[in-house]
């Protein structure tokens, strides 16, 4: 355990089968990681309704209290969170990758890190050690790979399903834990107010045609990357040349017009 000053950001989740409010899966993993690092000193922060019962299931993981920046639905959580965190002396802010309710854009960690001017590590799997004002962490990459990073404090990190699974939430601590509501200036989310929401459609998956004859080939096919085949690796090029190559690719793919 480190004496790091850690804040985990949590949201209200929704069970995929029933839609019932619950602790969000990834956010609970962020709390789990925080508890493993800081134990009871972990601070947990939510922006929204402090009377939401589902918040108690975070407390049930063994927290004494949970701070809530009180906001009505539809308010922008970002300014409130950023203001709070800037003053809170946090050295590590843990979040999930994407909320299960609301916009669920997955943008919050990025916007937050930008606003705070801190680095962001996505897919944090483990914090190995903290020394001299920087942390050595493992970042999860696809197919079980890990990348070791050294990040200076303070930083924001988002966790996904590569982080350790959340511990059970127990009724006793959930009932005892305190939810402390803080009053904050409510900023309306202009973008959300102006746009209409519609249910997301799952992105179609590229079909993998498996021509394998043997078990070994099938295994290889199952574990291989879905190959695009057109990628290229740019090495030892100037930033200018790199940026131009990326810009050209985006134009070719029709992302930029």
Partner 1 sequence: MLNTILPILLFAALALAVLGALRRFRMWRRGRPAQVDWLGGLLKMPRRYLVDLHHVVERDKYMSRTHVATAGGFVLAALLAILVHGFGLRSQLLGYALLAATALMLTGAIFVLKRRLNPPSRLSKGPWMRLPKSLLMFSGSFFVATLPVAGILPEGFGGWLLAVLLAVGVAWGVSELFFGMTWGGPMKHAFAGALHLAWHRRPERFGGGRSTGLKALDLSDPSAPLGVEKPSDFTWNQLLGFDACVQCGKCEAMCPAFAAGQPLNPKKLIQDMVIGLAGGNDAKFAGSPYPGKPLGEHSGGPHLPIVSLDGKALVDAETLWSCTTCRACVEECPMMIEHVDAIVDMRRHLTLEKGATPNKGAEVLENLIATDNPGGFAPGGRLNWAADLNLPLMSEKKQADVLFWVGDGAFDMRNQRTLRAFVKILRAARVDFAVLGLEERDSGDVARRLGDEATFQSLARRNIATLSRYRFKRIVSCDPHSFHVLKNEYGALGGHYEVLHHTTFIDELVRQGALRLGRSKADSVTYHDPCYLGRYNGEYQAPRNVLKALGIEVREMQRSGFRSRCCGGGGGAPITDIPGKQRIPDMRMADIKETGAALVAVGCPQCTAMLEGVVAPRPEIKDIAELVAEVLIEGAEAPASQPAARREAAEVH
Query: Which residue blocks in 69-210 are alpha helix, DSSP H?
Result: 77-88, 108-116, 171-176, 190-194
CA distance 62 to 139: 26
- Per the DSSP assignment, residues forming a β-bridge with 85 are none
Which is closer to partner 1, CB of 22 or CB of 46? 22
Q: Residue 34 or 62: which CB sits closer to partner 1? A: 62
Helix (H) or strand (E) run with residue 35 in it:
helix 25-38
Cα-atom radius of gyration of the chain, to the nearest Å? 21
Please give the angle made by the CA atoms of 67, 71 and 75, to the nearest 5 degrees: 130
Q: How far is the CB of 171 from partner 1 (least distance, A)?
A: 4
Measured distance CA(164)–CA(139) in Å, rounded: 13
Q: Which is nearer to partner 1, 171 or 247 (CB)?
A: 171
Q: Which is nearer to partner 1, 170 or 237 (CB)?
A: 170
Shortest distance (Å) from residue 21 CB to partner 1:
9
Give the interface with partner 1 as residue ranges (CB under 8 A): 15, 17-18, 20, 22, 60-62, 167-173, 175-176
Joined tokens for residue 18 = 């029933």
The H or E element spanning position 33 is helix 25-38
Task: Give the separation between CA 124 and CA 121, rounded to whole angstroms.
Answer: 6
Nearer to partner 1, 74 or 165 (CB): 165
């Amino acid at each position: 355990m480190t004496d790091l000053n850690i804040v985990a950001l949590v949201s209200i989740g929704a069970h995929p089968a029933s839609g019932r409010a619950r602790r969000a899966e990834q956010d609970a993993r962020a709390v789990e990681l925080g508890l493993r690092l800081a134990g009871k000193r972990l601070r947990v922060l939510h922006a929204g309704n402090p009377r939401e019962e589902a918040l108690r299931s975070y407390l049930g993981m063994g927290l004494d209290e949970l701070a809530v920046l009180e906001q009505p639905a539809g308010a922008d959580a970002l300014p409130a969170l950023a203001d709070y965190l800037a003053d809170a002396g946090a050295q590590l802010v843990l979040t999930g990758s994407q909320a299960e309710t609301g916009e669920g854009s997955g943008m919050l960690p990025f916007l937050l890190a930008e606003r705070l001017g801190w680095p962001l590590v996505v897919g944090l799997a483990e914090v190995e050690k903290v020394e001299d004002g920087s942390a050595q962490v493992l970042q999860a990459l696809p197919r079980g790979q890990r990348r070791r990073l050294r990040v200076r404090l303070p930083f924001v990190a988002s966790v996904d399903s590569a982080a350790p699974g959340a511990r059970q939430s127990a009724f006793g601590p959930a009932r005892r834990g305190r939810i402390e509501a803080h009053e904050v200036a409510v900023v309306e989310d202009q973008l959300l107010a102006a746009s209409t929401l519609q249910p997301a459609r799952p992105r179609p998956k590229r079909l993998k045609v498996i021509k394998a004859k043997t078990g070994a080939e099938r295994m290889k096919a199952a574990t291989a990357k879905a190959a695009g085949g057109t990628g290229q690796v740019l090495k030892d090029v100037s930033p200018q040349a790199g940026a131009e190559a990326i810009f050209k690719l985006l134009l070719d793919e029709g992302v930029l017009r």
